Chains A and B, each alone.
Chain A
Amino acid sequence: MPDVYNWQLGRRMSYPFEERHPDRQFAFVFNINRCIACQTCSMACKSTWTWSRGQEFMWWNNVETKPYGGYPHGWDSKLLAMLEDVNPGGQTWGYQDDKEHEWPYGSFEGLTIFEAAERRRLEPQSSRALGYLPSEAEWRAPNMHEEVAHGPVKKQGDRPGSVELPEHRVWYFYLQRICNHCTYPGCLSACPRQAIYKRPEDGVVLIDQSRCRGYRKCVEACPYKKSMYRPTTRTSEKCIACYPRLEGRDQAAITPDGTPVETRCMSACVGKIRMQGLVKIDAEGKWQKESEHPLYYLIRERKIALPLYPQFGTEPNGFYIPPRWVPRKYLEQMFGPGVKDAIEQYSCPDRELLAVLQLFRATQRVLFRFEVEKGPKVGEVEVTMPDGRKKTQVIFNDTARGFDAKGEEVARVTIEEPTWTLPAEHLNSI
């Protein structure tokens, strides 16, 4: 297999095809800390793209609870166990950092899904990535075993098979998932018909429906299980990154001037947790330095948004701001060694970071550049750090401005000041 460079792993790795990179790459940041699990995103996608016969169990966008939920059920824990089985005790990171951002999370010393398949000597050629085909039952319930906080859990024996959990000691969070439009897609690597391709203009990964014969090799090889089989057409389908919107070709009412607008799932997000963009990629696959691009800034410069299971090796282009309240060990398995630094920074953001975070969902236009206009200090507030410590955050009257593909200003967010409401008993105290 040829060698390709995977910046998220900080090293070269085997991949079935030669490196070839798009000019720009569709990428996104999801801020897990703000998701309230309303599922509006899931419904926005479903009502746009997957409402037909044969697509009943198909959720290109889904929001699942962690640690126990998942769609399809157990997708991540199953693959992690398979990798561990091929490389027992070896799925670890070396924790170096590098100023040039060439290996921002250190170097991954374990095996990717492609390397694990090589070690296993998986045959035929279409099994070039370690994976599995979920059963129909696993697809059927979008969030089987979903966590919901309840009152004190029943004692052992009250409910057959349940275990006694310490009162008020359970945690959970919601993980929002769409196709990651990976740089080295597992789905693409496995298709015997070469029906899957990555668009050179924006890196969106698509399945050519006229070539697909429904062999489901992509379903097996996608580590995120985001390629799905449709029995009525006998083909596989997946998230298309709402490309008509990305190209600025959606209804005239949304993009009268042809500038890219956010996808359906992003623009519908109630919690304003989502931001998408198109980042510049050079011929070697490196992200070109664009410090004023909000995604470049959050992902490469500040490193507060991290890839989901980077160790799988597909170089996913979806990045997550990890939830502050979740145990570090769990998060490190999911997002790699960058977690500690990301959460520290995010919990008490400095003025520039706070300003950029305000741009999430401020407009439907895809942002290509931001500017921060600095204002005077307007206050101090106390915030909760991941270990429960309190820290003082300084607030400034800053304004974040966002610009679209044509360089037009399309959003402006001003932080005015922190305000406090006095408790009722103090209202007349002056």
Chain B
Amino acid sequence: MSMLEVDSLKRSFGGLVAVRDVSFRVNEGDFLGLIGPNGAGKTTLFNVISGVLRPSAGMVRFLDRDISGQPANQTVRQGLSRTFQAATIYPDATVIENAARGTLAASLTGLWGGFFSNKWRIAAEEKAFHLLDLFGLTRRAHLKARELSYGEQRRLGVAIALACDPKLLMLDEPVAGLNPEEAAELASVLRRVKSERGVTMVMVEHHMRTVMGLCNRVVVLDHGTLIAEGTPTEVVSNPLVIEAYLGKEAVHA
């Protein structure tokens, strides 16, 4: 069953067309890789799907519901969560508060509850602790998030995105800027999250080793256009892709 359907999606900024007529599907259980050279429009595509930006044309369907142009917060509550390319955290809150804030939308009290009881806080922090444990941040729980190392901040960003129990998690370059050990560690956490929680994932990533290790399917974007789609091995050997993108990277991969 397809979870996310992107149909002829387009987004332009003034005269610049960042995403041009892109269509693809994400099936339940997929780990889809989205690759492409710098400026190809990957982040823009993420922003349009998640509701941070409105599409100029085209349609996005999530769980058989049209979500095109719908505000991001609503899309998240329906089960589609995303991370940002830069480390995106609450720098002045503690690590545990950061993760707990991610659970608020899914908590039962809503906007107008929890004034005279601490139950919601205890539940939020309990859930947050499980996440911190998963991402190896338990010992950092009471530090300010700004005091974490860059790699830890990136992991915390993923933990926050997972806190609202998404069905589909979209990761924008999760391992960028991490050293090889950190990257491998995060990759194994993502694999665990996928198998244990059954979260479908889409990942933008330049790091081919990570893409090869995690993704069952890859789509390639170049100048806003989808130029190839297939298994990682198929895509890597596709001449169009090599020309657009892997020409220089294939050596390292």
Interaction A to B? no
Q: What residues make up the interface of A, taking CB atoms closer than 8 Å to B? A: none
